[in-house]
Every structure is written in C-alpha cells, then in structure tokens.
Amino acid sequence: MKVAVVGATGLVGSAMLKILEERNFPVTELIPVASEKSVGNKVMYKGKEYSVVSADTAIAMKPALALFSAGGSISLELAPKFAAVGCRVVDNSSAWRMKEGIKLVVPEVNGHALTKDDYIIANPNCSTIQMVMVLNPIHLKYGIKRVVVSTYQSVTGTGQKAVKEMLDQRAGGNGFGVYPHRIDLNVIPHIDVFQDNGYTKEEIKMTQETCKIMGDDSIGVTATTVRVPVMGGHSESVNIELKHDFQESDIKELLSNQSGVVVIDNPAMNGYPMPLDAEGKDEVFVGRIRRDYSQPNTLNCWIVADNLRKGAATNAVQIARYLHDQGWI
C-alpha cells in the first residue's frame, strides 16, 4: 500500500510517521510530502531514509492513502487532487471539518458513519477529540444538555516555532513573534483568530465540531481556549449538564469501560491526569470527576491527552486503519 504523509516534516507529520510504524500499518511504499523548499530533505521510517517529494510527484504516484497535516489552504487545494486519483485523504486541518457531506470522525465515537464513498475525511480539532471521547458515553446513557469547557493547551499545538519560542524565553532569550505576548511564565486566553462575536475560531470549532461528531445539534457547548507554557498535551476543565441524574460511581465505571479512555481519579493520593503523564500516549485521561452542587444533574471533570497523538496523528491513523479493515484501501 502506497501511503503519502503530506506535511511529513512538521510536528504532527512526524508523529504520523511514528504512529504508522508503531502500529505496524501495512505501508509498502512511503511517500513523504512537504513544501517545495523541503523537497529532497530526508525523513526516517522503520530505520530507512526517505526523500521528501512534492505534492505533484506524490499525486502522480497514486497513493492509496494520504494523511494530511499541512494547513487548511493546502488541504483545500490538494485533497481533491489526491482524491481524484482514487486516494483516501484523512485531513488534519480545519478546512473540511464543517463542510456538508464530509465526515468528521473520532473512530471510537462515530467511525460507523464512514462509507466506501468517503474519499476526503476530516480529523477533528485536537481539543474536540479528547473531549468527545469522554462526553459520548455519558451522552448515550444520560443525555447532555450543555457543556462549559476551558482549555489549557500546549505550545506543541502551535508547532515547532512555538516550542522553540517558549524554550528560548525560558532560557532567558528574547524569542518572540509566534504569539502576541510572552508565553513562558504566562497564559494567553487567545487561540486562533477572534471573530465578531468575541469568540476565537478555536472556541467556535469546539462548539460546532462536538455537535457534528456526536450527531446532536441540541447539545449546547461554550468554550474558552487558553494557551499555556507546557508540553506533553492539552488539558480541559469541563462542566457537563445532563438530562438525567447520575451517581459519580456510575460515571467513573462508564468511562472506565470506554475504549481509549483511562480514568485517573484518586484525590487522596494526588491521583489525577497531567500533561506530563499523557505525553507519548494514545489514550485520553480523565479525572477530578465530581458532582456540581450549584445546579441539578451536573458534573465536573478534567480531561488530558497528548494533542500530537490522539489529538491529531493517532486519530488519523485510527481512521486509516478503519478504512483498511473495511477493505476500502
């Protein structure tokens, strides 16, 4: 199977290569793709060196699968060209997520929605993925009315330049330009572009994508997204109002039985999820599960996941595995 990774030299692209290898995905020929300035650079896969090629070269090679992590404008331009040669595209940008007829997929939640006619498939926002992994089993049993989420998002979500900027500031340098303010020793309540309604695009993504993935537009979601000077993963404080009452023990059991979710909830022993613990792992971790006593049928929880893995690359590879297992690639 010919597999193209578009954006192979970036943080998410590199994670895609690593996860394809770890999960022994049936790649017979790897095609790393990046911008023209990166053509000829080398990437490693399963101990072998591969040369980066242009998108045109990759399309001419007619891969069966293309994993995209190259930005929205590039995805809008290139995904249809790859699809036109019979290639299945799993796109990590926001370009296709809310388009009519394009599936937005977290395999554990709505993988069943995929069909053999889907050639462009959208990978959700990293913060949305980890949240719906926890919300969906709760929604199926109790029904969710409203979600209030505040995120604590790693600098790795912005890319390599952001990581370099934070580390430079931490070392006493004057690195600046990726963020509008200093990120080290600070938090910035601003991810993506502000819209006329006062929300950022990242906050709107979480609202819209959650309803689309879970197939229920009645769920109210409001988000505040915040960049924090950490690496390893994104964290979220989530308040969930349910249609029916619950027992905390039942919620914990429900989440413990959810594939891909790990419950770490032992306050007496300082047991709760943290980004350092999530780094390099594919699971979504949840803890601090407790009743909200300020109103009926409401609970709080804390959700953490590695945004480069389950929040991006792992989810994309899981979609690809689903396509392969169905015999569509």
Q: What is the number of residues in the chain?
A: 329
Contacts of 206 (CB under 8 A, 6+ apart): 125, 127, 128, 131, 149, 151, 221, 223, 225
Q: Domain with 23 in it: what CATH number?
A: 3.40.50.720
Average pLDDT over residues 245-269: 98
Residues classed as catalytic: 126, 234
Average pLDDT over residues 260-264: 98
Whether residue 53 sits in one domain with residue 178: no
Whether residue 319 sits in one domain with residue 297: no
Whether residue 179 sits in one domain with residue 53: no
Whether residue 141 sits in one domain with residue 290: yes
pLDDT in tens, 105-126: 999 999 999 999 999 999 999 9
Are the C-beta atoms of residues 282 and 33 closer than 8 Å to each other?
A: no
What is the rounded distance in angstroms from the CA atom of residue 36 to the CA atom of residue 42? 13
Are the C-beta atoms of residues 243 and 143 closer than 8 Å to each other?
A: yes
Whether residue 132 sits in one domain with residue 106: no
Whether residue 136 sits in one domain with residue 107: no
Q: Is the pLDDT of residue 18 over 90?
A: yes
Average pLDDT over residues 94-98: 96
Whether residue 185 sits in one domain with residue 264: yes
Per DSSP, the residues of 127-184 read HHHHHHHHHHHHHHHH-EEEEEEEEEB-GGGT-HHHHHHHHHHHTT----SSSSS--T
Q: Is the pLDDT of residue 8 over 90?
A: yes
Whether residue 191 sits in one domain with residue 264: yes
pTM above 0.85, yes or no: yes
pLDDT of residue 127: 98
Q: Domain with 236 in it: what CATH number?
A: 3.30.360.10
Q: Is the pLDDT of residue 224 over 90?
A: yes
Burial class of 35 by CB neighbour count within 10 A (0 to 12, 13 to 18, 19+): middle
Tell me the HSE value of 154 on the side-chain side, using a 13 A CA sphere. 27
Range of the domain at 19: 2-124+312-325
Q: Is the pLDDT of residue 175 over 90?
A: no
pLDDT in tens, 180-212: 999 999 999 999 999 999 999 999 999 999 999
Whether residue 76 sits in one domain with residue 151: no
pLDDT of residue 307: 97
Whether residue 253 sits in one domain with residue 321: no
Q: Is the pLDDT of residue 39 over 90?
A: yes
Whether residue 86 sits in one domain with residue 191: no
- In the chain, the number of structural domains is 2
Whether residue 174 sits in one domain with residue 77: no
The model's confidence at residue 71, banded by pLDDT at 50, 70 and 90, is confident
Contacts of 194 (CB under 8 A, 6+ apart): 200
